Chain A
Amino acid sequence: MLRRMRNDRTLALLAVLAGVVLIVLAIVYWIEPARSLPSFFPGHEAGSGHHHVKHGIAAFFVGLALFVFAWFKTGPKRASTPVT
């Protein structure tokens, strides 16, 4: 029981961290053109002024979903959580 609670907390913490990273990623995609993205980012393109708005939207919504996941995981245990 205690172990499961600890696992849930760890999962929630990881989800929040990943969520924050993804939201930051989304903002970077929205404000930086493809040429200014770090080379390890999907969509990096030398010399391109294109903004990867869609990549940003995808990252934002996945980040949001991870926050919701963490919100449910750390809630009271009487109800089921959305992802099992």
Chain B
Amino acid sequence: MILGALISYPQAIVLGLLQGVSELFPVSSLGHSVILPKLFGWNIHQNDKYFLTFLVATHLATAIVLFCFFFRDWVRIIRGIGRSLRDRGIDPDDADAKLGWLLVVGTIPAGILGLLLEHSLRKVFASPTSAAIFLTLNGLLLYGAELLRRRAPVADAEDDARIGRTVTWRGAFFVGAAQAIALIPGFSRSGATIGGGLVVGLSHKDAARYAFLLATPIIAAAAILKLPELFGPDGDGVRGQALVGAICSAATAYLAVRFLMRFFETQTLRPFAIYCFAAGLACTIYFVAT
């Protein structure tokens, strides 16, 4: 039995709780899952197969929570896409259809870049030191997005109509492609999409909502594609821990998305920018010094 060499249950709980929060907070879940084991002195490495298998379960849990949280929105969006396909065009007043196609346009570049680059980027930037450096840069990126933010348009009555009017097709492609930066441990997917949303003119609240909707299919697809590994030989010895981690991840992901949707009604990305910059810099110095 190789159980002792893999992830322990307390580690699974910590990593699961962390994953749920850091996947949705703009602070890089992958970066934290590389840095934290090193800080705690755990013998867990980002490219270990069993750890990747563990991450599949926690990512899937996060995606399910996101999907359930926005379930009514997804039903409306999918119906909107169906209507537009039937009518062979998007009615300018159909906010659901417009939002649905904006999400499709945003998902395509992220999906393609993810499929083609994920493996090689993960291998190249696997070290905790590089993750800490990129976490520092993530802080600068978030701060830069705040500086480049366009003034959000006058509030519309309905969230999706506002997003549909503000985000252009080109903007949707740009925000979607920005997600690919999260393939590098240390950069945050939600940070890139919320930041991208701000740059194309969305308010903080709308940018966060758009980012979470955009994240759902990508996180789910990435997890589903690797799900066979969880049930194959790579999952031996970690399935129980993965289940525990997934439950913890689901709980914190739910709390995180609830918190962030309220937080961004009045607040900005600055606290996260400061955290990433400070934590990233401190970890970089610590890893280099030790």
Chain A residues packing against B (C-beta within 8 Å): 54-55, 57-58, 61-62, 65, 68, 71-72, 74-84
Q: How many A-B residue pairs have CB under 8 A?
A: 55
Task: Tell me, yes or no, whether B90 is within 8 Å of chain A by CB.
Answer: yes
CB within 8 A of A82: which of B111, B115, B116, B169?
Answer: B169
Interface residues on B, range: 10 to 19
A82 engages B112 (CB within 8 Å): no
CB within 8 A of B111: which of A58, A77, A81?
Answer: A58
Task: Tell me, yes or no, whether B155 is within 8 Å of chain A by CB.
Answer: no
Task: Tell me, yes or no, whether B260 is within 8 Å of chain A by CB.
Answer: no
Task: Tell me, yes or no, whether B153 is within 8 Å of chain A by CB.
Answer: no
B89 engages A78 (CB within 8 Å): yes
Task: Tell me, yes or no, whether B105 is within 8 Å of chain A by CB.
Answer: yes
CB within 8 A of B90: which of A55, A58, A61, A79?
Answer: A79
Q: Chain B's nearest CB lies how many Å from the CB of A51?
A: 13
CB within 8 A of B115: which of A54, A77, A78, A80?
Answer: A54
CB within 8 A of A80: which of B92, B104, B105, B111?
Answer: B92
Known: A54-B116, A55-B115, A58-B112. A83 touches B169 (CB 8 A): yes
The secondary-structure label for the interface of chain B is helix
Chain B residue nearest in CB terms to A74? B88
Name the interface residues of B122-139: CB closer than 8 Å to any CB of A.
none
Q: In the complex the two chains form, what is the Cα distance from A74 to B169 in whole Å?
A: 19
Pick from A55, A77, A82 the residue with the most CB of B within 10 Å: A82
B89 engages A79 (CB within 8 Å): yes
With a CB–CB cut-off of 8 A, which chain B residues contact A83? 105, 169
Known: A58-B116, A62-B112. A82 touches B101 (CB 8 A): yes
Chain A residue nearest in CB terms to B92? A80
A65 engages B108 (CB within 8 Å): yes
B90 engages A82 (CB within 8 Å): yes
With a CB–CB cut-off of 8 A, which chain A residues contact B105? 82-83
List the 9 closest A-B pairs by CB distance, nearest first. Answer: A75-B88, A79-B89, A54-B115, A82-B101, A58-B115, A75-B89, A58-B112, A83-B169, A80-B90
Q: In the complex the two chains form, what is the Cα distance from A62 to B88 in whole Å?
A: 19
Q: Chain A's nearest CB lies how many Å from the CB of B224?
A: 11
Q: List 9 A-B contacts (CB under 8 A).
A: A71-B85, A72-B89, A75-B89, A79-B88, A79-B91, A79-B92, A80-B90, A83-B105, A84-B169
Task: Tell me, yes or no, whether B87 is within 8 Å of chain A by CB.
Answer: yes
Q: Chain A's nearest CB lies how many Å from the CB of B138?
A: 26
With a CB–CB cut-off of 8 A, which chain B residues contact A76? 87-89
With a CB–CB cut-off of 8 A, which chain A residues contact B116? 54-55, 58
CB within 8 A of B225: which of A54, A61, A77, A80?
Answer: A54
Q: In the complex the two chains form, what is the Cα distance from A57 to B124 in whole Å?
A: 24
Q: Chain A's nearest CB lies how many Å from the CB of B49?
A: 16
Q: Mark B67-99, 1 if CB is under 8 A from A, else 0.
A: 000000000000000001101111110000000
